Structure 1
């Protein structure tokens, strides 16, 4: 059976209930898409948690972690800015930390990551931009 993203209503419910969003591959460079999307999510009231093993400084005012397992608090959504071939490992880490959703950004798709995550009870969204989906499903957000 071919992968199908959740409906817009389901995505809306996922975003409305999201507390912490770990952003894997978040760059500290302001001209990168991951940075711009993370900043937009912060402005919309989401709590972002940067994950990037190459960066030790805070990003957007939040502590950066090398790996998902280093995050000392619950994570609702693992949002991934990595190439598709690296996502199965991220899916395994998302399962290990008890995340609720694995979200692969626009242009990122992995059936293996889907099988790992969905097979362990996570909702999976692939090849969709979290910022766009938030804007489409929740035009007004209050936190």
Structure 2
């Protein structure tokens, strides 16, 4: 097993995506926000065959997104999480660090425009691979 790292090369991204099956989506939106990436990217991932676990930050009344039950914290997910796909502003990512560490995914993917080098370093130190400032949907489409 190789050491965790910040992945920013095409081969590393392809290997990561190819090994992922179960994706928790932190900050997912609802169908009412269908035109926002925080909804249509996870929708695409579900349609592509990934198991998507919705973890919205808002929408306390919502019980289901994409036909899947909503969880309120990453630490509440039962079983192994391959990847946490993060839809939070860069300045809000650190607020979720403890929950990310408690979830202990194999990797954390910060969507396009989202970057926190300090959080990334802490995740790598904990043995979690990190991708920053890239769209998971765009990268997946390059591979299929």
Q: Distance in 2 between matches of 1:74 and 1:61?
A: 20
| Alignment root-mean-square deviation, CA | 1.6
Aligned-pair distance for 1:4? 5.8
TM-score (norm 1): 0.88
Greater length-normalized contact order (CA 8 Å, ≥ 6 residues apart) = 2
Aligned-pair distance for 1:69? 0.7
Match of 2:52 in 1: 48
Match of 1:13 in 2: 15
Structure 1 residues without counterparts, runs of 5 or longer: none
Deviation beyond 4 Å, 4+ runs, structure 1 = none
8 Å Cα contact 1:26/1:51 also seen in 2: yes
Q: Are residues 1:135 and 2:141 paired?
A: yes
Q: Are residues 1:37 and 2:41 paired?
A: yes
8 Å Cα contact 2:29/2:39 also seen in 1: yes
SS in 2 for 1:85: helix
Q: Which moved more, 1:112-121 or 1:125-134?
A: 112-121
Match of 2:71 in 1: 65
